[in-house]
Structure 1
Amino acid sequence: MVQKYQSPVRVYKYPFELVMAAYERRFPTCKMIPVFVGSEILAEFNSEDGGVTIIERRCKLNVDAPYLLKKIAGVEFVYFIQKNSLDRRKRILKIEAHNESFASRIGIVERCAYTVHPENTDWTCFEQSASLDVKSFFGFENAVEKVAMKQYSQNIKKGKEVIEFYINELLSEGITHIPLFEERKKLPEIKVTEGDKLLEATGQPPPESTQVDVNLKLESEYIERRLGKLTPYQESCLVRLKKWMAEAHQGKVPSDQTLVRFLQAQDYNLEKARENLCQSLVWRKKYQVDKILNSYNLPEVVTRYFPGGWHKHDRSGRPLYILRLGQMDVKGFIKSIGEEGLVKLTLHVCEEGLKKTEDTATKKGKPIYSWTCLLDLEGLNMRHLWRPGVKALLHIIEMVETNYPETMGLVLIVRAPRVFPILWTLVSTFISDNTRSKFIFYGGNDYQGSNGLQQIIDKECLPDFLGGDSQANICEGGLVPKSYYMSEEEYERERLQGNRLFDDSMYHSVSLGKGQVHEWTWYILVEPFLICHDGESVQGTHVASLEGTYVLQWRHLDTQHHHHSFDFPLHQHKAKVMYYYELLKSRDYKGSMSSLQSSHSAATFNSASEQSAVSNSTPR
């Protein structure tokens, strides 16, 4: 398996020329990097006007590997070939490196670039990417992979320190400014034909394209300030996930906080985080969750009897949500607004939480992307274990865990009665280990005093009914009057239909089995096939100007046998297809997908397949 690394943008608040002078001091050896034993120049090219310099070096490294591994490999040092291409006119340095030692067994490729900051020409940006492919190494492939990644992470941490060390050295010597190349030499630019030959002689592939929207790039200082201190590997996962989402969804990317939350939930397993995020975005699009804060009005029974609400913040600055669950008439709410109504209410609270954390992070200038939930269980009894209520609770927990991972910073449980262990046994298995670790339980009166809740919530922010100095504008709950109840017919209909969530869901859903097709009338221009492997999902958008009947077909491609266009075996392969379509006015379509201005395409970004579209099919 190929391991990949992609750094965020690291910014040096010094001009490019000064950074280059500091970089040159790293050779032939660098005392700041002990593993870098030395280097020799294999080839060097300078353009006639001095604007371009290309240097190829052979670098000698003393890798910090176990003695046994070095003994088996029969080497003490490993060698890398490094090629530096410096263009002083364009103010850019490109670095390519690959391993010479064990090249047939291990493939290590690194690419770096120093460029001028796009918004401040007196600053310099640095980016790097790398890939590691351990093909075979005497049966020690896993060990070699771990050693290589550990060594690389250590070098990444040292990289910025090294440049800053030599910059400070230059400053101490009185070198504070180096003129731009144009200021030093007023000669016409010359094409580097000989340099190109040198590049070809190395046998290395051209560097990967780095044409990425600067608005989608992340700076390391921004990550630490707004998202928290991440390891180099975690930063790499974040950068790669953001780039992938931008490519897959036409530049429309979830917030950086959202990306981090999904990565944290999967312990920075990039593939799992990406899969879960895509599924969640499809879910958000399907049920139009992005619109819930504006489209959903709290029913009167909720405003008058629901014992929960937002109230100030904890000591860490996280928004605080208080729910007096013991005072909640679960049966009354389900009889009044149904399970679907409770789900909508929960989504409304979760979306409010996302907005509050974002606003708080902006206001305080520090990473905050979760909130604290305070559950007051006084009054909890057996009536809360009513089976439909527990069923609705489990469904809500599953939905929140899947689509709002890592939004819960802490869950504080106070005044739990004897019946609570029964409820906890029922629900705890549906809560992830990571979320369960955030639960703090206060038995009896332990929540009181400076050693209780006040360790987490300042007394002036703690509600008065829990011994604090603040009056919380939270309903006391109580029994819901039966005048709010649905009729028996309405309740039975809601119960049988299950949780529809939203009546106006834009998606239609159909399951296709062997030999089945589904027809409907829509507008479509057929595009190339969307390839989807087992267990995966894909989204596609199709546009056309002619009305007609079209066939949506899920086809399993057998790569081992040739079949005619509509002669293929389906075996037991199944697919669930969700689709929607829009009718757009011709004046709103200006020839490109990004120019469609429809009610859906103009919506806020947070959707799985938000691609200005007239139809969207998602085979799964």
Structure 2
Amino acid sequence: MWRNMLAWRKDFRTDTIIEDFLFTEIDTVRRFYPQGHHGVDKEGRPVYIERIGKIQAQSLLEVTTLERYLKFHVQEFEKLLNLKFPACSVAANRHIDTTTTILDVSGVGLKNFSKPARDLILAIQKVDNDNYPETLAGLFIVNAGPGFKMLWSTVKGFLDPNTAAKIHVIGTNYQKKLLEIIDESNLPEFLGGGCNCQTEGGCLQSDKGPWKDSDILKVLNAAEQSKVGRESVSSAREHAASSHFDDIKREIGDQGSGVEESTAESGPKKNETRADDDVLTVKEERRRGFGGRQACRLDRCCGLCCGRW
């Protein structure tokens, strides 16, 4: 699975998709597929919301293609991994790598499970299950009426079993449950919360969250610069060590194969020791702060300073 995922990431060019892919039809697409991140839950995780009952799959695929929509979906996931999770980790003072998702299924019926809708849902689920596993903390399905309950057993069969175990179908009396896990200020009014974003498109297009906080972005930028610096130093060390080892082999090459084998055998052990020293150096850098430039704000490791991201 790991090898397949790496091959997929290479083929899909995920490492550069944030910068390279321009989804010009985004505003129109969101009218036909209302969705977006909005704030965090009480544990500091990003909250993702979809209004499934308002999806118009046929209209969606008239303004974009399934291939382009999947690229947009992957681009949003990469933003989650590279920006939203790190920002939430800084804000929560703990490592964050999962989301809380709310699916509002009010109005869902057979029309929402036409062939275009099924193709779209299955394609998205395959991308998520194969390449972004274990990023879901919990999924809460609200406004589940008779139409949705009739279709739920079929939809559940399309899901990965581990994912299905995290799903909670609440029905129409959901406000109290949602407010137990999400603060009222981070929950939109249409879900029983107190937020009513005045931006165009409302709460689902506001992209509200710690990833919009300028102070947190400064911390992330400092961490990234420190990480880049360490990677450059590490690369230079590896290159220097490799060149030095090649020089030694050339110098003793005429002294017999036994000596060369002995030297080659001892080389990796030295490199392993060097790697251990590098790990200690990185840990010491984290203790002092971001490369000595800025004190770390976190009491527990979020993976930013030490290069875990």
Residue 389 of structure 1: CA displacement? Answer: 1.5
Residue 350 of structure 1: CA displacement? Answer: 1.5
Residue 403 of structure 1: CA displacement? Answer: 0.3
Residue 402 of structure 1 is matched in structure 2 by 130
Match of 1:378 among 103, 106, 115: 106
Residue 302 of structure 1: CA displacement? Answer: 2.1
The residue identity in structure 2 corresponding to 1:346 is H
The residue identity in structure 2 corresponding to 1:456 is I
Which whole-Å deviations, capped at 9, do the CAs of 1:117-137 have from their partners, x for residues lacking one? xxxxxxxxxxxxxxxxxxxxx
Match of 1:447 among 174, 197, 209: 174
Contact 1:464 1:470 in 2 (8 A): yes
Q: Distance in 2 between matches of 1:398 and 1:391?
A: 11
Residue 81 of structure 2 is matched in structure 1 by 354
User: What TM-score, normalized by structure 1, do the two folds share?
Assistant: 0.31
Q: Distance in 2 between matches of 1:342 and 1:423?
A: 24
The residue identity in structure 2 corresponding to 1:389 is A
2:15 is aligned with 1:290: yes
Residue 33 of structure 2 is matched in structure 1 by 306
Residue 305 of structure 1: CA displacement? Answer: 4.2
The number of residues matched between the two structures is 199
Residue 417 of structure 1 is matched in structure 2 by 145
Match of 2:163 among 410, 418, 435: 435
SS of equivalent to 1:419: helix
Distance 1:385 1:294, change over 3 A: same
SS of equivalent to 1:373: strand
Which whole-Å deviations, capped at 9, do the CAs of 1:155-201 have from their partners, x for residues lacking one? xxxxxxxxxxxxxxxxxxxxxxxxxxxxxxxxxxxxxxxxxxxxxxx
The residue identity in structure 1 corresponding to 2:47 is L
Q: Distance in 1 between matches of 2:108 and 2:118?
A: 13
SS of equivalent to 1:297: coil
Over aligned residue pairs, what C-alpha RMSD do you find?
Answer: 2.1
The residue identity in structure 2 corresponding to 1:433 is P
Contact 1:305 1:475 in 2 (8 A): no
Residue 368 of structure 1 is matched in structure 2 by 96
SS of equivalent to 1:460: helix
Distance 1:323 1:368, change over 3 A: same
Residue 323 of structure 1 is matched in structure 2 by 50
Moved over 3 A (4+): 303-306, 472-476
Q: Distance in 1 between matches of 2:79 and 2:18?
A: 7
Which whole-Å deviations, capped at 9, do the CAs of 1:327-350 have from their partners, x for residues lacking one? 121111122212212212221222
Residue 264 of structure 2 is matched in structure 1 by none
Q: Distance in 2 between matches of 1:289 and 1:471?
A: 33
Q: Distance in 1 between matches of 2:136 and 2:201?
A: 22
Unaligned 5+ runs, structure 1: 1-275, 477-620
Residue 386 of structure 1: CA displacement? Answer: 0.7
Residue 310 of structure 1: CA displacement? Answer: 1.1
Q: Distance in 2 between matches of 1:332 and 1:384?
A: 12
Higher Cα radius of gyration: 1
Residue 463 of structure 1: CA displacement? Answer: 0.5
Q: Distance in 1 between matches of 2:102 and 2:20?
A: 27
Residue 304 of structure 1: CA displacement? Answer: 4.6
Greater relative contact order, per chain length (Cα 8 Å cut-off, separation 6+): 2
The residue identity in structure 2 corresponding to 1:418 is P
Q: Distance in 1 between matches of 2:34 and 2:49?
A: 8
After TM superposition, the structure 1 = structure 2 runs for residues 603-614 of structure 1, keeping only pairs within 5 Å, are none
After TM superposition, the structure 1 = structure 2 runs for residues 329-348 of structure 1, keeping only pairs within 5 Å, are 329-348=56-75
Which whole-Å deviations, capped at 9, do the CAs of 1:295-354 have from their partners, x for residues lacking one? 222314225543111110011100011111111211111222122122122212222221
Match of 2:193 among 468, 473, 476: 468
Distance 1:316 1:441, change over 3 A: same
Residue 474 of structure 1: CA displacement? Answer: 7.9
Residue 427 of structure 1: CA displacement? Answer: 2.7
The residue identity in structure 2 corresponding to 1:291 is T
Q: Distance in 2 between matches of 1:297 and 1:323?
A: 22
The residue identity in structure 1 corresponding to 2:126 is E
After TM superposition, the structure 1 = structure 2 runs for residues 143-182 of structure 1, keeping only pairs within 5 Å, are none
Query: Kindly, what percent of the aligned residue pairs are identical?
Result: 31
Distance 1:383 1:303, change over 3 A: closer
Distance 1:456 1:336, change over 3 A: same
Q: Distance in 1 between matches of 2:118 and 2:150?
A: 11
After TM superposition, the structure 1 = structure 2 runs for residues 244-263 of structure 1, keeping only pairs within 5 Å, are none
The residue identity in structure 2 corresponding to 1:394 is L
Residue 278 of structure 1: CA displacement? Answer: 2.0
The residue identity in structure 1 corresponding to 2:52 is L
User: What TM-score, normalized by structure 2, do the two folds share?
Assistant: 0.60
Contact 1:308 1:475 in 2 (8 A): no
Residue 374 of structure 1: CA displacement? Answer: 1.0
Residue 277 of structure 1 is matched in structure 2 by 2
Q: Distance in 1 between matches of 2:171 and 2:200?
A: 23
Distance 1:303 1:396, change over 3 A: closer
SS of equivalent to 1:470: coil
Contact 2:32 2:59 in 1 (8 A): no
After TM superposition, the structure 1 = structure 2 runs for residues 236-251 of structure 1, keeping only pairs within 5 Å, are none
Name the structure with the higher helix share: 2
Contact 1:307 1:475 in 2 (8 A): no
Q: Distance in 2 between matches of 1:443 and 1:419?
A: 12
Residue 97 of structure 1 is matched in structure 2 by none
Distance 1:392 1:408, change over 3 A: same
Contact 2:57 2:116 in 1 (8 A): no
The residue identity in structure 2 corresponding to 1:382 is L
Q: Distance in 1 between matches of 2:111 and 2:56?
A: 9
Q: Distance in 1 between matches of 2:130 and 2:200?
A: 28
Contact 2:39 2:46 in 1 (8 A): yes
The residue identity in structure 1 corresponding to 2:17 is I
Contact 2:41 2:186 in 1 (8 A): yes
SS of equivalent to 2:96: coil
Contact 2:44 2:91 in 1 (8 A): no
Which whole-Å deviations, capped at 9, do the CAs of 1:30-78 have from their partners, x for residues lacking one? xxxxxxxxxxxxxxxxxxxxxxxxxxxxxxxxxxxxxxxxxxxxxxxxx
Residue 456 of structure 1 is matched in structure 2 by 181
